[in-house]
Amino acid sequence: MNRGAPSVNRGSPSVNSPSVNRGSPSVNRGAPSENRGLGWSLPHLSSRILPSTCDHCCIRSSPVSTIKNVKYSIRSMQVEDIPKLHALLAENKWNMELDYLNCIFSTDPTGLLIVEDEQGNVIGHNGILKHGSHLASFGMNIVKDGYRELGIGKKLLQATMELMGDRNVGMNSLSNRVTFYEQFGWKVSSFTLSYNQGKVNLDFIKHPLAVGFELMSSDNVSFEELFSYDTEIHTVPRKRFLDFWINHKKAQSFVAVRSGKIVGYCVLRPADVGWKMYPLYADDKNVAHALFCKAVSLIPKGEDLIFTLPVENEEANKLAKGAGLVQYLSMPRLYNKWNVVMDLTRVYSVASTEYAIV
Ligand SMILES: CC(C)(COP(=O)(O)OP(=O)(O)OC[C@H]1O[C@@H](n2cnc3c(N)ncnc32)[C@H](O)[C@@H]1OP(=O)(O)O)[C@@H](O)C(=O)NCCC(=O)NCCS
């Protein structure tokens, strides 16, 4: 995602862990007829229950918290929130296109939260995407400009942490925010992502070394085989995500096959700004380069490529450098329990900077 250059290094903020009233269930986890509020009892924050303003669900009926005259509630995300969330992210220059948000929501909406003001505006988002019962990815922590520094971010984080339960949760922090997340338990360092963007140097894609393998559209291989290749690398099966992501009408997905076996694949999709090559997985640098060239050749002239690689993969760095991309962000991946070990030599670009392991 293009989060833009973060303007302030906030260092290590001292955060007083808010005293959550754990007696009342903390988050409206989705069942529309249930009223599950946050029930915080902080001295500076008052809560009250508003009557439902909606006939068919209770998404407006969760407790409303007030901080300095800002009334807001935190609730589970609904499909209708997607365009509003998209607008909020775009306002903050996060390059998270509607199709991406739809894909995540369709994969599993149960870990996604929204902060809403009294007028029904979406003023914050954070969430987790579960990878089974023990593991999840945490991402897209945002509060609308103008509502920041009021304590909303911390309440949202706390609500998201309750959704995590006992899971091991991975996240990609901005490098200047690692200290903030450490205090909440994200102390296990994994790899570091480097977010690259730019117009591809066309000389670099002139002569791909496609020897010993064939490139083809993903339509020509079985989805099951591709799914199983992805699982080897991502380490956790994510069939729903892949189905929405790879088979989307705007996705251009290519596979490299050697002796009848998949040895790499990549997906190119239009983003709000530029094109994302998310992911590019390959067994070796020649396969990676050939897939890269194939996909890049489809990017309209003058438009940017977005390519987010693990810095630990030396060949991926060479690929991005050779292509003339510019690094904008560095994002260390942290876990709160244990590191998820994976073969990063096969990861040239990740599938999502937010809601995936890689
Ligand atoms: C980070 C952000 C979500 C915090 O929301 P907020 O409502 O302003 O946070 P609060 O008022 O509860 O807390 C303010 C302090 O805690 C920090 N903080 C609170 N929640 C945070 C979170 N989830 N992630 C990072 N920092 C957070 C703030 O940076 C700030 O630090 P300070 O006390 O040293 O000034 C908000 O500033 C934002 O949307 N920023 C732009 C997007 C972004 O950078 N997201 C984080 C990506 S890692």
* Three-state SS letters, the chain: CCCCCCCCCCCCCCCCCCCCCCCCCCCCCCCCCCCCCCCCCCCCCEEECCCCCCCCCCCCCCCEEEECCEEEEEEECCHHHHHHHHHHHHHCCCCCCHHHHHHHHHHCHHHEEEEEECCCCEEEEEEEEECCCCEEEEEEEEECCCCCCCCHHHHHHHHHHHHHCCCEEEEECCHHHHHHHHCCCCCEEEEEEEEEEECCCHHHHCCCCCCCCEEEEHHHCCHHHHHHHHHHHHCCCCHHHHHHHHCCCCCEEEEEEECCEEEEEEEEEECCCCEEEEEEEECCHHHHHHHHHHHHCCCCCCCCEEEEEECCCHHHHHHHHHCCCEEEEEEEEEECCCCCCCCHHHEEECCCCCCCCC
Pocket test for ligand 1, best of 10, 44, 163 (most atoms within 8 A of CB): 10
Model pLDDT for residues 147-169, shown as the tens digit of each residue: 999 999 999 999 999 999 999 99
Domain 46-166: assigned CATH number = 3.40.630.30
* Average pLDDT of span 220-247: 97
What are the residues whose beta carbons fall under 8 Å from the beta carbon of 335, sequence distance 6 or more?
168, 169, 170, 186, 188, 190
Q: Is 81 exposed, middle or buried (0-12, 13-18, 19+ CB in 10 A)?
A: buried
Cα–ligand 1 centroid distance for 70 (angstroms): 17
Cα–ligand 1 centroid distance for 208 (angstroms): 44
pTM: 0.84
Residue 64 confidence (pLDDT): 78
Cα–ligand 1 centroid distance for 153 (angstroms): 5
Cα–ligand 1 centroid distance for 141 (angstroms): 8
Which protein residue has the closest C-alpha to ligand 1 atom 37? 148
Pocket test for ligand 1, best of 154, 156, 179 (most atoms within 8 A of CB): 154
Pocket test for ligand 1, best of 141, 144, 173 (most atoms within 8 A of CB): 141
Rounded CA separation 191/142 (Å): 23
Residue 62 confidence (pLDDT): 54
The number of the ligand 1 atom at minimal distance from the alpha carbon of 150 is 11
Which protein residue has the closest C-alpha to ligand 1 atom 42? 142
pLDDT at 56 over 70: no
Cα–ligand 1 centroid distance for 224 (angstroms): 41
User: To the nearest whole percent, how much of the chain has pLDDT over 70?
Assistant: 83
Looking at the DSSP assignment, which residues form a beta bridge with residue 76? 113
What class is the 193-349 domain? alpha beta
State in Å, rounded, how far the first CA of the chain is from the last one: 13
Pocket test for ligand 1, best of 91, 125, 143 (most atoms within 8 A of CB): 143
Output phi, psi for 244, to 5 deg: -70, -35
Q: Which residues line ligand 1 (CB under 6 A)?
A: 6, 10, 13, 92, 141-143, 148-154, 157, 173-174, 177, 180
C-alpha distances in Å from residue 92, one per residue of 143, 257, 342: 9, 40, 32
Cα–ligand 1 centroid distance for 176 (angstroms): 11
Region(s) of the chain under CATH 3.40.630.90 = 193-349
Model pLDDT for residues 164-200, shown as the tens digit of each residue: 999 999 999 999 999 999 999 999 999 999 999 999 9
User: To the nearest whole percent, how much of the chain has pLDDT over 90?
Assistant: 78
Selection from 268, 252, 99 nearest residue 200 by Cα: 268
Residue 12 confidence (pLDDT): 31
Cα–ligand 1 centroid distance for 154 (angstroms): 7
